[in-house]
Chain A
Amino acid sequence: MVSRRAVVAGAVGASVAAAGGAVGYRAWRDREPASPPVHDSEGRLLWRNWSGIQSAYPSERAAPDSEDALVGVLKSAPHPIRPVGAGHSFTALVPTGGTLLTLDRMSGVIDHDGAKLHATVRAGTRLGDLGPALAAIGQEMPNLPDINKQSLGGALGTGTHGTGRAFKAMHGEVTAFRIATPRGDVIACDRTTNADVFHAARVNLGAFGVISEVTIQNRPLKRVLKRTTGRQLGEVIEEWPSLISQHRNVEFYAIPFTGLAALITVDETDKPVSPRGPDTDADAVMELKALRDVAGFLPAVRRGLAQSAFKDLPPDEAVDEGWKLLSNERPVRFNEMEYHLPLERQMVALREVIAAIEKHRADVFFPIEARVIDGDDAWLSPFHDRVCGSIAVHAYYKDDYSFLFDLVEPILRRHGGRPHWGKLHSLKYADFATLYPRFRDAVAVREMLDPEGRMLNDHLRTVFHNG
């Protein structure tokens, strides 16, 4: 181990010396992106999303504490009325000069059915709080996203997902919900009651009204073994079809310019609890950045250093309840594009994406995430009627992310991908009408629930209005 560290240290040090003239450039590139003013000229407070690329100055901020209060806001507050969860969407779902609406005061588990393994939860509940709350009643959501800061309503509304061949995205396990509308009513729906609303608004972009509470089909709380293994990228890509059938949850991160991958598997186990150690992902990402900074102009050195550092590295294992292991802290901010492709196209597209980045964008260092998600029947679900393999490409929040649109998106679209609603994409109404067989039906339901368009901001008009 010591010798490996020495190899990396020596090589990086040599590269730093050789690249001394670039230090000034690197410092310039590492500057913090400028923030808009805290207040605008009218004294309104700034809102920005998690990554910092979306911003607005809402004229009002509403935090209702009941369904009645929520209806009151939707009926009469200045519009556009835009619900916000944790602000993790990269697309412009939230920006508004009207009303910014948070459900932070409408959170917690309301009821549960131990026999059916159902739990009814207020939509403002943060996923990080939902895990322990469900564990307390012997239940779990077996498929959680990579980050758990989001609100339940925001996660469902954008089609947020985890990974696992046998698992649907989070909205796929919703059995019923109540949605408050700008018309001033509250609609309870499930597969038999107000079924059109149920199918159209399970994934809703916060554009149909606001879901106040949700009933989720959960599973019995399980202990799982999470294993993270450094592997050769080519091997993991070849094994992917068998990996997704062998493991309960499985994903991998392809690390561009290294030929390496981090394979993460999660399986149920009876082993004794062995809690996860301190999270070192952020350090790992910043070391990838350091490698980019000093060896980005020397691809062979960059790859050689990474390969040397990985040699004989043992797997990392943790055993605990799933909600403690499936999600991660992500203190290094980034921008992201993710598309969901027909599973059989996923690895072909991934190879093309990696090749394109390695040919054209030596500045990219963030790992590329590959996951698998079962299909469902929500009309606006990116997983509608098909099993999907997802590809998520990231850019450090201080870095240029235009390559996501110029280089990556054309590949993902060519392979039949549908974009994550909360992640960067350039698609419009006509594109969605082609990609989603029930898109126009969903649009009709949205217009029935919000006939005056009180929920629509500029971005959402490009999604739901033709032309």
Chain B
Amino acid sequence: MKRTILAFVVFVAACSPAAPKRTAEEAAAYALSIKPTDARLGDLYAQSCRTCHTVADTGAPLTGDAASWAPRWKKGMPALLSSTVGGLNGMPAGGQCFSCTPKDYEALIRFMAGHES
């Protein structure tokens, strides 16, 4: 089902303002370069969040990409936690971290959104 299955993709690409490729690559490279400093949180992140939030193709906001996270952060932590646990659009419920507690989720959200402090 790769790109050639439909020229509709080409159609969308032609009609949509494409994000600068270099910027996207840089954002992805930065996402791959960082992880939580707390060891336990780092393990949880590596097993779950990282698999999507460092891969641009997933559509997930990349870790540390302030521009992508800003509109989400505005929703407030309760809403973000609810979306994380229950799932929303491409975000699978629980972020596929099934040993995470609500506090773990909040800490991981803060880390990925660049709001650890």
Q: How far is the CA of A5 from the CA of B8 in the complex (A)?
A: 8
Chain B interface residues toward A at CB < 8 A: 1-15, 43-44, 47-48, 51-52, 55-60, 81-82, 85-90, 92-94, 96-99, 101-102
Report whether A32 and B8 are in contact in the complex, using a CB–CB cutoff of 8 Å.
Answer: no
**Proximity bits, A40-67, B CB within 8 Å = 1, else 0:** 0000011111101001000001110000
Residues of A within 8 A of B82 (CB): 35, 38
Distance of A78 Cα from B4 Cα, bound (Å): 50
Contact A149 B96 (CB under 8 A): yes
Which residues does chain A contribute within 8 Å of B15, judged by CB atoms? 5, 9
Q: How far is the CA of A100 from the CA of B87 in the complex (A)?
A: 18
A420 contact set on B, CB distance < 8 A? none
Interface residues on A, range: 35 or more
Main secondary structure of the interface of A (DSSP, over half): mixed
Which of B2, B6, B10, B13 sits near A264, CB closer than 8 Å?
B2
Chain B residues in 8 Å Cβ range of A284: 1, 3, 5-6, 8-9
Contact with B along A425-461 (1 / 0, CB 8 A): 0000000000000000000000000000000000000
Please state if B98 and A100 are interface contacts (CB–CB under 8 Å). yes
Contact pick for A280, options B9, B87, B98, CB 8 Å: B9
A84 to B1, CA, bound (A): 28
CB-defined contacts of B44 to chain A, threshold 8 Å: 104
Closest to B56 in A: A278
Q: At the interface, yes or no: A352 with Cβ under 8 Å from chain B?
A: no
> Which residues of chain A come closer than 8 Å to B2, judged between CB atoms?
226, 228, 262, 264, 276, 279-281, 316, 328
Structural contact, A84 and B57, CB atoms closer than 8 A: no
CA distance A96 to B80 in the complex (A): 25
Given A104-B99, A128-B51: A35 in contact with B86 (beta carbons within 8 A): yes
Q: Closest CB of chain B to A186's CB: distance in Å?
A: 22
Query: Is B9 touching A331 in the complex (CB atoms < 8 A)?
Result: no
A314 & B88 in contact (Cβ 8 Å cutoff) = no
A45 contacts which of B3, B7, B85, B88 (Cβ < 8 Å)?
Answer: B85
At the interface, yes or no: A250 with Cβ under 8 Å from chain B? no
B7 and A313 contact, CB distance less than 8 A: yes
With beta carbons under 8 angstroms apart, the residue of B4, B11, B56, B59 that contacts A8 is B11
Whether B11 contacts A47 by the Cβ 8 Å rule is no
Q: Is A287's CB under 8 angstroms from B9's CB?
A: yes
Task: Decide yes or no: A331 and B90 within 8 Å by CB, A8-B11, A284-B9, A287-B8 being known contacts.
Answer: yes
Interface status of A310 (Cβ within 8 A of chain B): yes
Distance between B100 CB and nearest chain A CB, rounded to angstroms: 9
Q: With the chains together, A329 CA to B7 CA distance in Å? A: 19
> Would you mind naming 14 contact pairs between A and B with Cβ atoms under 8 Å apart?
A4-B10, A8-B7, A35-B82, A46-B93, A52-B87, A87-B92, A87-B96, A105-B99, A228-B5, A281-B2, A284-B9, A287-B6, A287-B9, A309-B11
Which residue from A4, A52, A63 sits with its C-beta under 8 Å from B7? A4
User: Do B58 and A329 touch (CB < 8 A)?
Assistant: yes
Chain A residues near B94 (CB, 8 Å)?
A: 46-48, 87
Residues of A within 8 A of B96 (CB): 50, 86-87, 149
Kindly identify which residue among B3, B56, B93 contacts A52, using a CB–CB cutoff of 8 Å.
B93
